């Protein structure tokens, strides 16, 4: 197992040498400056559309699901019991006390609320609350060029298999919509001494229900 983990680490170093961007930002060593944070405030449709896709991404254009997993926003729920009457239809975003408050709701009274503290590029000191306790999870976020980026890494082991997932989401807003660019990489290792790697890059669009809260969002 140690040999396989070493091979996976070597594969990770080789992949890290590749130059990759998502939403105009580098996937690795992403810069952060809170003065460059976007205004994402508003209410958006949870069900969106895929504008472009490269690779084998299977994530559907559901904003609540994408923020809950793979981007691991705290407390956002995908519980079947909560959403038994239908998937969330609206996602509201507002900035309060240096954190994004993200509220999701369906048309039957179901609602959930998540929180995304602005970390300015620093790692989250407590990333492994439920439902992520089964994985070794790390996450960070920051702002650059009028975009909010979120990065997550998770590692899951089971018997002789090892799966590592790396996701980077970049959020930006226009007067008409919220745009999410999502880069994903999955590395899997089993009995063979090398990793299988899948990558995807997907751009999603979620229509805005309310008008932008600030003139800055209109100007972008």
User: Is the CA virtual torsion 211, 216, 219, 220 positive or negative?
Assistant: negative
At 218 the pLDDT is 39
At 166 the pLDDT is 92
Tell me the C-alpha distance between 89 and 134, whole Å: 29
Tell me the C-alpha distance between 2 and 39, whole Å: 46
pLDDT(123) > 80: yes
At 173 the pLDDT is 96
83 phi and psi angles, rounded to 5 deg: -105, 30
Tell me the C-alpha distance between 128 and 112, whole Å: 19
HSE (side-chain half, CA atoms, 13 Å) at 88: 29
What confidence tier does 15 reach under pLDDT thresholds 50, 70, 90? very low
Nearest residue to 218 (alpha-carbon basis) of 23, 34, 38, 96: 38
pLDDT(12) > 80: no
pLDDT digits (tens, 9 = 90+) for 66-81: 998 899 888 876 666 6
Cβ count within 10 A of residue 174: 13
At 78 the pLDDT is 62
Q: Which of 55-59, 81-85, 212-216 has the lowest mean pLDDT?
A: 212-216
pLDDT digits (tens, 9 = 90+) for 183-207: 999 988 877 677 788 999 999 999 9
| CB of 53 closer than 8 Å to CB of 139 | no
At 157 the pLDDT is 79
Q: Rounded mean pLDDT of the chain?
A: 82
CA-to-CA dists, residue 151 to 8, 27, 109, 137, 140, angstroms: 20, 9, 31, 11, 5
63 phi and psi angles, rounded to 5 deg: -65, -40
Domain ranges of the chain: 2-219
pLDDT(82) > 90: no
If you average pLDDT over residues 10-38, what whole number do you get?
76
């Amino acid at each position: 197992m140690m040999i396989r983990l070493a091979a996976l680490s070597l594969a990770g170093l080789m992949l890290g040498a590749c130059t990759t961007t998502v939403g105009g930002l580098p996937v690795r060593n992403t810069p952060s400056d809170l003065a460059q944070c976007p205004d994402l405030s508003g209410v958006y449709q949870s069900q969106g559309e895929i504008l472009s896709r490269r690779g084998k991404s299977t994530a559907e254009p559901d904003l609540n699901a994408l923020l809950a997993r793979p981007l691991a926003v705290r407390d956002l729920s995908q519980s079947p019991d909560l959403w038994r009457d239908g998937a969330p239809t609206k996602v509201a975003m507002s900035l309060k006390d240096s954190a994004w408050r993200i509220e999701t709701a369906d048309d039957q009274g179901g609602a959930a609320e998540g929180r995304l503290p602005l970390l300015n590029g620093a790692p989250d000191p407590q990333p492994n609350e439920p439902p992520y306790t089964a994985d070794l999870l790390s996450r960070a976020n920051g702002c650059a060029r009028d975009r909010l980026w979120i990065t997550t890494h998770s590692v899951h082991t089971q018997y002789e298999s090892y799966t590592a997932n790396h996701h980077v989401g970049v959020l930006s807003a226009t007067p008409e919509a919220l745009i999410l660019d999502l880069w994903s990489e999955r590395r899997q290792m089993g009995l063979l001494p090398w990793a299988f790697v899948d990558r995807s890059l997907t751009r999603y669009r979620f229509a805005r229900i309310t008008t932008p809260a600030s003139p800055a969002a209109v100007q972008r």
